[in-house]
Amino acid sequence: MTVATEAPVVELEQVRREIRAMYREVARDPAGDFHFEMGRGLAERLGYPAPWLDAVPAQALASFAGVGHMIDLAELAPGDHVVDLGSGSGTDAFVAAHLVGPGGGVTGVDMTEHQLGKARTQRDLAGIDHVVFVKGYVEEPPVEAGSADAVISNGVLNLVPDKARAFAAAARALRPGGRLALADIVSARELKARTRANTQLWAACIAGAVPLERYLDGIRVAGLTVDEVRVNHQYRFVSQRALDAADTYGVVSVSIRATKPK
């Protein structure tokens, strides 16, 4: 069984710098020119119910850059504790907070200061007290082991060169019986080294994609059981460069549910 870890064709900090730069602009200027769509219209097309989106502060939702709808797979219930890996401006974290209620709690983890700042500001303005946003990497989130009923992530783990560490971190955060619900970008075939070396395509959610079966193997190696995989046909890239790369490698969005054995 192969594990979803990429060859070191790019330097980790270089990738992180490119990602921070792009998602800083996502937070600052959601109407800007990106490889991908954003905002409420995207979330609606991906399948987010309107009442869930109504619970998200509008300014946070404007910077939503997810690749699929997956929170339904987490089966969140009142009182649950949730970790959102790569929480960005907070859309999924706010939806989770709406579903778990004030008796539960949500921790959003992100490495981009501008995204964290936007999420915290919108949280405070809306008076949503049971959500916290903390700085950290998805490979080593600052959360207690076994503390989460669910871990969610949307369009983020493809940005991580060492996916094995990210999957292991998600599994470690979950309690026995906890659920992992992901939406992410995968490919039908291996990407060429020159594509993987393009840090702009990493930030655009293309160059970090790995074949679906290898991605699922990485989840299983982390000790989780894959329960469901669905393709998000509603997701699409918008720049020609990203579209060309997606066509070449069969890049698609999928939503995945996995559970941690009891």
**How many angstroms separate the first and last alpha carbons of the chain?**
23
β-sheet bridge partners, residue 108 = 84, 133
Cβ within 8 Å of residue 30, ≥6 positions away: 38, 39, 62, 63
180's enclosing H/E stretch is strand 174-186
Which CATH number is 12-259's, of 3.40.50.150, 3.90.320.10, 3.40.1350.10, 3.30.499.10? 3.40.50.150
What residues does each domain of the chain span? Answer: 12-259
130 burial class (0-12, 13-18, 19+ CB within 10 angstroms)? middle
**Order of strands across the sheet that contains 252-259:** 131-135, 105-110, 81-85, 148-154, 174-186, 252-259, 225-231
Encoding tokens for residue 107? 């921790």
Confidence of residue 225 (pLDDT cuts 50, 70, 90): very high
Q: pTM (2 decimals)?
A: 0.89
pLDDT, tens digit (0-9, with 9 covering 90-100), for 28-51: 777 776 667 889 999 999 999 999
Cβ within 8 Å of residue 18, ≥6 positions away: 199, 200, 202, 203
Q: Is 50 exceeded by the pLDDT of residue 243? A: yes
pLDDT, tens digit (0-9, with 9 covering 90-100), for 165-196: 999 999 999 999 999 999 999 998 887 776 66
